[in-house]
Amino acid sequence: MNQPIVWVPGEYAYKVKYFKSFQLLFILFAGLFSYAQNAQVDSLKVVLGNSNKDTSKVNILNDMAAIVFRTAPEEAIKYSSDAKNLAQQINFQKGLAGAYKNIGLGYYMQGNYTEALKNWEPALEIYQVLGDEQRIANIISNLGSIFYTNGNNVQAIEYFLRALKTAEKLGDSIRIGTLLLNIGNVYSEQPATLDTALNYYRQALSMGESIGYLDLLGIGSINMGELYFKKEAYDSALFYIEKSLTLIKSNIDIAASLNFLGRIYAEKEDYQTAINYQQDALKMAMKENAQLEIARILLGLAST
């Protein structure tokens, strides 16, 4: 199953023989990216310490959660829980909805979909009361991701299409692109609809290129690689997975790409190369405590 894109609060894919050097390069960039995130959080902590218990403090806590939810979901849950408690005290509904959304993102990254759903549903209710169509589309899209991850493809398509309709109405190119990608993910589950999935992926990548959205291009390249893997077109799969490593920044996404390279090489019966990639992927995912990705990598290693 491909990884659906979930929405960040406020936000508002060379040659194989050279790959080892590229791998080192992107691990370095990922480390610099983590350093930048830590610097952002440290700066916000200073501002937080000088803030009163008002809406600005809620917003700062939510911003901190948004920065770290992928790399440190436990911290994101803590920051956004503090934001939720304060928002309830001062009756700051927009901040409360953002806190629920952030808590859900933290749990989603930990693979705890029950808790993610429990938090995204009240976030959706508040945004509906506020009439915030952009964030309504955001949450509906995220709920679709949960249904997809849980194997409820019919409901996932329903939610993604609802969100897409709103995104098109708002002219939100970034969200349109990610929803096209997520719809492609659902169609990629069945052999009979692989070509339909390919069409959605191409539209998503085209949108990503037109607006320069690297996250969409990176995840889209991973998913294109998996689709070609299902078609047993392994050279095309390698092309897109290697391309993803020139685009993605997150250690978790890099781990996913390395794991998939392992799967491709296993199919090509180059088992030692496959194991090397998957072991590198496992180390990276464990470092980030990405439980869902760890499980996927362990399954990949077991298969190899």
Percent helix / strand / coil, the chain, rounded to 5: 80, 0, 20
- Residue 79, pLDDT > 60, answer yes
pLDDT in tens, 97-154: 999 999 999 999 898 999 999 999 999 999 999 999 999 999 999 999 999 988 999 9
- Residue 3, pLDDT > 70, answer no
- Residue 180, pLDDT > 70, answer yes
- Contacting residues for 162 by C-beta, under 8 A, at least 6 apart: 137, 140
Confidence of residue 44 (pLDDT cuts 50, 70, 90): low
One-letter amino acid identity for 114? T
Confidence of residue 72 (pLDDT cuts 50, 70, 90): confident
Cα distance between residue 63 and residue 194, in whole Å: 38
The pLDDT value given to residue 159: 95
Cα distance between residue 77 and residue 87, in whole Å: 15
DSSP 182-210: HHHHHHTTSGGGHHHHHHHHHHHHHHHHH
The pLDDT value given to residue 250: 83
The pLDDT value given to residue 17: 27
The pLDDT value given to residue 9: 40
The answer to whether the pTM exceeds 0.75 is: no
State mean pLDDT over 237-249.
93
State mean pLDDT over 241-252.
90
**302 φ/ψ sector (left φ>0, alpha ψ -120 to 50, else beta):** alpha
The pLDDT value given to residue 8: 47
- Residue 162, pLDDT > 90, answer yes
- Residue 38, pLDDT > 90, answer no
Confidence of residue 20 (pLDDT cuts 50, 70, 90): very low
- Residue 32, pLDDT > 80, answer no
Confidence of residue 54 (pLDDT cuts 50, 70, 90): confident
- What is the DSSP code (8-state) at residue 18? G
- Residue 171, pLDDT > 70, answer yes
Cα distance between residue 210 and residue 300, in whole Å: 34
User: How much is the mean pLDDT over the chain?
Assistant: 85
**Orientation of helix 251-267 relative to helix 214-230, angle to 10°:** 20
Q: Is 147 exposed, middle or buried (0-12, 13-18, 19+ CB in 10 A)?
A: buried
CA distances from 113 to 121, 143, 174, 254, 263 (A): 12, 10, 24, 22, 26
The pLDDT value given to residue 25: 34
pLDDT in tens, 208-234: 999 999 888 998 998 999 999 999 999
Confidence of residue 70 (pLDDT cuts 50, 70, 90): confident
Nearest to 257 by CA among 233, 211, 304, 224: 224
Cα distance between residue 208 and residue 228, in whole Å: 20
Determine contact, residues 23/163, Cβ cutoff 8 Å.
no
Cα distance between residue 119 and residue 98, in whole Å: 10
The pLDDT value given to residue 4: 67
3-state secondary structure of 163: helix
Confidence of residue 6 (pLDDT cuts 50, 70, 90): low
Q: For residue 249, how many other CB atoms are within 10 A of its CB?
A: 17
**232 φ/ψ sector (left φ>0, alpha ψ -120 to 50, else beta):** left
Domains of the chain are 34-152 (1.25.40.10)
